[in-house]
Amino acid sequence: MSQWIGFFPFLVFLLGIQQIFNYWLIRNKQYREVAITRITNSASNNGLAILFGLLKFREWGIFLSNFIGQIIYFFNLYYFVRKLSKEDLQYVSSNKIKAKAEQYKEFPRTSISQAIVDMFQINGIVYFLPIFFSIVEVGYYSRALIVLQAPISLLGNAFSQVFYQNASEVHNAKGDLRPLITSTIKKSVLVILPISILLMLFGPILFTFVFGNQWEESGHYGRILALWLFFDFIRLCVSSIPLILNQQRRFFLISILGPIILLISMWMGYLMNDVHLALLLFAVGQSGLILYLLTWIYKIASPQKNG
């Protein structure tokens, strides 16, 4: 795969532009266009991956299909943005771009650090499990995470993007964000609560029934992690508030506690020689941290605080 490393900077730049276009469409309530571009992106990625697999392109076919898919996704987004904002684009200039970049220069610095912390909280267990336990536990955890995280992230991102657009409008109008936060949290609870209860009660049974007996242990992992996924789904839905209120630095400092909780949980489980205990401590600790985070988000959303 070394021959493809040179494409990574371009791909990162492309992903950044895609995110800008995507948020612009959401900001203008072009949800139909957003859905079309995502469906096209998924179809092109998966279709090309199957095609390259049939053509025996081997492992690099996955990267190539994703690379081409991202280019298709970019042009789809560009088409809709240009169609929607053709008149507005004439007012864009390099001087205005530089001025805005200077004004919001702290944002990418903090956001990159925040993204690293968030990814570490999800994938950090993969790094620590073989250190404190064995590589077998990594397989069980990865299976559970793939099954649980994909649909939860899809639903959470949908909630989050709509919330971001609505919250931005309320904030720009100098309104009270707290009713919107409360309403969004209630809706997210109604969505995720049944899923979490089913996992807690029947996780191993569900995994075994759907995927086979070899997935039973992953079902136990899913049962333990259900509490964390419940609260993390709610957090994801309203996590744009610090961004809107320019509180990313404080948000980042609070989030740093997540990897610390992970490390302590793994260490305690190692001392007791119990991987289930390690995951339980992690789930409980992360849930407590998210509860504190949600309380802080609600507090800073007060008109007295953000006005």
Contact 231, 178 (CB under 8 A): no
pLDDT at 52: 73
Boundary of a domain, candidates 92, 123, 140: 92
Question: Among 88-92, 225-229, 270-274, whose mean pLDDT is lowest?
Answer: 88-92
Check pLDDT > 80 for residue 184.
Answer: yes
Same domain, 140 and 274: yes
Check pLDDT > 90 for residue 34.
Answer: no
Same domain, 65 and 211: no
Check pLDDT > 80 for residue 94.
Answer: no
Same domain, 81 and 120: no
Residue predicted with more confidence, 114 or 251? 251
AA identity, residue 3: Q
Geometric angle at alpha carbon 44, from 40 and 49, rounded to 5°? 155
pLDDT at 307: 53
Region 276-286: mean pLDDT is 93
Region 119-124: mean pLDDT is 73
Same domain, 26 and 167: no
Geometric angle at alpha carbon 251, from 249 and 254, rounded to 5°? 110
Report the domain count for the chain. 2
Same domain, 114 and 256: yes
Place of tokens 């136990």: 220
pLDDT at 156: 77
- Provide the greatest CA pair distance for the chain: 65
Same domain, 169 and 86: no
Same domain, 64 and 83: yes
Boundary of a domain, candidates 92, 119, 150: 92
Same domain, 73 and 116: no
pLDDT at 179: 92
pLDDT at 109: 67
Same domain, 105 and 47: no
Same domain, 199 and 271: yes
Check pLDDT > 90 for residue 41.
Answer: no
pLDDT classification of 249: cutoffs 50, 70, 90: confident
Boundary of a domain, candidates 35, 62, 92: 92
Percent of the chain whose pLDDT exceeds 90: 21
Q: How far apart are CA 221 and CA 201, in angstroms?
A: 12
pLDDT at 2: 57
Same domain, 203 and 296: yes
Same domain, 129 and 54: no
Q: How many helices (H) and strands (E) does the chain have?
A: 13, 0
Q: What domain range is 54 assigned to?
A: 2-92
Question: Among 81-90, 155-164, 228-237, 281-290, whose mean pLDDT is lowest?
Answer: 81-90
Q: Report if pTM > 0.95.
A: no
